[in-house]
């Protein structure tokens, strides 16, 4: 199963589908076929592994398929994997994560009804790989990462509105790498009108990175700004974070990075709609200017939102702190 997780990681982190890997093993323990899902519209991991086995000239009748996610039993962009496994006369299936997607779930049951020895074999590494996708499906809305770059004293811009640049090149390059792994970037009209960002992904050493959908939230007109130069951008004319997430979900967005400013970041935090925070912290002090986060109505220390599974990564002179947040009030 660990090999299947390794294979799954080859798939894209962005897109409407999870990353899934599959290894088919014979009775003698020999690997007969391997595959992974390369993104929406391409074969799922199980048919990919079955094809690999066929191309290697291996008979998979009676073999065991190790899959990182419960095989689907529905016809979406591709046919049901349960059918493909049954047709290939696979003897047993072990899946590391039960599918939380109501449309695709129940594959284990379908396989058992077909006389295949199918069982859930939980593995944390498999769930961790799709943490954002699983969270999005469970919550019925896109997974939200709130990202900002701040000084030591928590400012994201100086008093005159300038924010180029809070952090150094390494931190900015890292943030571009994150953009290339998500489906969408959301900013408020304030940020578009002040900074005129292009909101594209430009990670170093990546030839042709995936470009996320760009979204601007707020009532003012921002047409003419750089973000509109590309057709793949949407305006959400609302102040309600739920409206923004609904508009993004309609575009099959599973993960969105909310890149500020402080007004919309605070609106998402107040609504309990932030799942993960990425704070890039520069060793700089401004003393005045814009705060990373505004008033959340929290008046006492015990009310503080506390992250878990925290990481701290040095990026040149800056530090990236990431943390996951419990689901708050919806």
Say which residue the tokens 């016809």 belong to: 75
| Contacting residue, 97, 149, 213, 247, with ligand NAP by CB under 6 A | 149
Q: Smallest distance from the beta carbon of 119 to ligand NAP, in angstroms?
A: 46
* 82 binding ligand NAP? (CB under 6 A): no
Whether residue 276 lies in the annotated active site: no
Please identify, using beta-carbon distances, which residue of 129 and 264 lies nearer to ligand NAP.
264
Q: Smallest distance from the beta carbon of 204 to ligand NAP, in angstroms?
A: 20
| Contacting residue, 102, 122, 161, 204, with ligand NAP by CB under 6 A | 161
| Sign of the dihedral through C-alpha 85, 91, 97, 98 | positive
Instruction: Give the tokens for residue 301.
Output: 């220390």
Please identify, using beta-carbon distances, which residue of 80 and 261 lies nearer to ligand NAP.
261
Stretch touching ligand NAP by CB under 6 A, among 101-109, 138-146, 255-263, 303-311: 255-263
* 186 binding ligand NAP? (CB under 6 A): no
Catalytic residue among 46, 83, 181, 259: 46
Which residues have C-beta within 8 Å of that of residue 115, sequence separation ≥ 6? none
Q: Smallest distance from the beta carbon of 229 to ligand NAP, in angstroms?
A: 19
Q: Smallest distance from the beta carbon of 259 to ligand NAP, in angstroms?
A: 6
In angstroms, the CA 293 to CA 233 distance is: 25
| Sign of the dihedral through C-alpha 69, 70, 73, 79 | positive
Q: Active-site residue numbers?
A: 46
């Amino acid at each position: 199963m660990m090999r299947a997780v390794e294979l799954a990681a080859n798939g894209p982190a962005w897109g409407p589908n999870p990353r899934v890997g599959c290894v088919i093993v014979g009775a003698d323990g020999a690997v007969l076929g391997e595959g992974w899902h390369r993104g929406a519209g391409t074969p799922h991991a199980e048919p990919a592994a079955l094809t690999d086995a066929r191309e290697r000239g291996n008979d998979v009748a009676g073999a065991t398929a190790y899959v990182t996610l419960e095989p689907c039993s529905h016809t979406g962009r591709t046919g049901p994997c349960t059918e493909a496994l049954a047709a290939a006369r696979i003897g047993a299936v072990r899946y590391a994560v039960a599918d939380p997607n109501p449309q695709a779930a129940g594959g284990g049951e379908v396989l058992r009804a077909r006389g295949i020895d199918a069982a859930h074999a939980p593995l944390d590494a498999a769930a961790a790989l799709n943490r954002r996708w699983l969270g999005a499906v469970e919550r019925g809305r896109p997974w939200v990462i709130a990202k900002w770059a701040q000084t030591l004293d928590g400012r994201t811009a100086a008093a005159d509105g300038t924010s180029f640049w809070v952090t150094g090149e390494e931190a900015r390059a890292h943030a571009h790498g994150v953009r290339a792994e998500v489906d969408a970037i959301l900013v408020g009209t304030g940020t578009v009108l002040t900074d005129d960002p292009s909101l594209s992904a430009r990670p170093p050493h990546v030839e042709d990175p995936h470009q996320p959908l760009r979204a601007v939230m707020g009532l003012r007109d921002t047409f003419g700004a750089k973000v509109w130069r590309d057709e793949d951008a949407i305006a959400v004319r609302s102040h309600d974070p739920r409206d923004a997430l609904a508009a993004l979900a309609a575009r099959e967005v599973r993960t969105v990075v909310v890149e500020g400013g402080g007004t919309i970041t605070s609106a998402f935090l107040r609504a309990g709609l932030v799942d993960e925070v990425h704070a890039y912290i520069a060793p700089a002090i401004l003393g005045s200017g814009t705060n990373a986060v505004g008033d959340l109505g929290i008046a006492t220390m015990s009310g503080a939102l506390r992250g878990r599974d925290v990481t701290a990564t040095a990026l040149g002179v800056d530090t990236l702190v990431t943390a996951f947040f419990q689901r708050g009030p919806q």
